[in-house]
Amino acid sequence: MSDVQLPVIAILLTFVVCAALAAAFLRDILSAIIAFAGFSFGVSIVYILLRAPDVALTEAAVGAGVTTVLFLLTIVRTVRPGGDRLFERIKVVPALLATGLVAVLLTTMRSLPRVGDPNSPVATSEITRYYLENAYPQTEVENVVTAILAAYRGFDTLGEAAVVLAAGVAVLVVLRKEVYV
């Protein structure tokens, strides 16, 4: 990761956290859906910067695309509640539980290897070495990640593609139904 990407990722992660908080605490459902779509879109851009385009495409298609359309179609068929408060009041017990969970998860970060550490268990694993040495000779695909996803994990990737296709077809069916109703 280059020095230029670090500030960009930091800004994007800040945006993602703010969008997630907005989606959680906004009282207006339309605003919450838009914040959720922004969250998904921000996460997909982070995945692109982390060189995981397959995950980014899935997040953009399902998270920012299909889910947002389904949420919007849902609110079209429901009544929008009135009220003068824009944000929901924070309930103490769930907020404490969420804070406790985040604190517990943060304690595990010390056990993770630093990004790019050549001595990390993943970098020194026999499985990693096998894929790095054999991915191109066995698949003739230059990118190791693409070789793993397309050749070694082809059925899994096919399943993911089928889920995205099914979600897209479902949205088209719902949209077509909405046009004729």
Cα gap 45→115, rounded to integer Å? 19
- The predicted-structure confidence for 15-70, as pLDDT tens digits, reads as follows 999 999 998 888 888 888 999 999 999 999 988 887 777 778 888 888 888 888 88
Cα gap 48→25, rounded to integer Å? 28
User: What six digits make up the tokens of 91?
Assistant: 């309930």
* Torsion, Cα of 135, 139, 141, 147 (10° steps): -60
Going by pLDDT thresholds of 50, 70 and 90, the confidence category of residue 180 is low
pLDDT of residue 181: 47
Helix 67-76 × helix 29-49 angle, to 10°: 170
DSSP SS3 for 26: strand
Give me the sign of the Cα torsion angle 38, 44, 46, 48. negative
Closest listed residue to residue 144, CA positions, set 159, 157, 128: 128
Closest listed residue to residue 179, CA positions, set 46, 171, 12: 171
DSSP state of 88: P
Sort 42 into a burial class: Cβ within 10 Å, 0-12 / 13-18 / 19+.
buried
Identity of the residue numbered 78: T
- The predicted-structure confidence for 152-161, as pLDDT tens digits, reads as follows 887 877 887 7
- The predicted-structure confidence for 73-111, as pLDDT tens digits, reads as follows 777 766 655 666 656 677 788 888 888 988 998 888 888
Cα gap 167→171, rounded to integer Å? 6
